[in-house]
Every structure is written in C-alpha cells, then in structure tokens.
Amino acid sequence: MSHSMYNADRSTHLKVVVLGLLCATAVAAVGIFANVSQFDMGTAPLVKAGQPTIVSGKLPAIR
C-alpha cells in the first residue's frame, strides 16, 4: 500500500480521477435539479445607506 500520490501506480491515479469526476457530477446534478423557485428574492425593500429603517411583515420560512 502506498501512502503517497507521488509513488502510486497508474490504477490508483485513475481511481482518484474517476472518484473526483463522479463527485463533481453529483454536485452539479444536485445544483441543476434543486428546487429554488420557492424563494422570492425580489420582495426585499430598497433602502438608502445611512437612513434608519424598520422592516415589518412575515419573513419567508426556509424549509
């Protein structure tokens, strides 16, 4: 068993590359198919800097 990537053989490097590609594909798939349509980012009030403000109302629940 080799504990260094410098001394590892070709099959070990291939396993690492394949595992990295599988993980990257899984992360990309979760990002593409994530349902983010429930978040309404356009309802926040616009406030000029330096003025005190009060925000009222019900905040959206993150589930």
For residue range 7-60, list pLDDT tens digits in order.
Answer: 778 888 899 999 999 999 999 999 888 876 666 666 666 666 776 767 777 766
pTM for this entry? 0.50
Question: What one-letter code names the amino acid at 15?
Answer: K
How is residue 20 annotated by DSSP? H
Ranges of each domain in the chain: 1-37
Q: Is the pLDDT of residue 1 over 70?
A: no
The three-state secondary structure class of 2 is coil
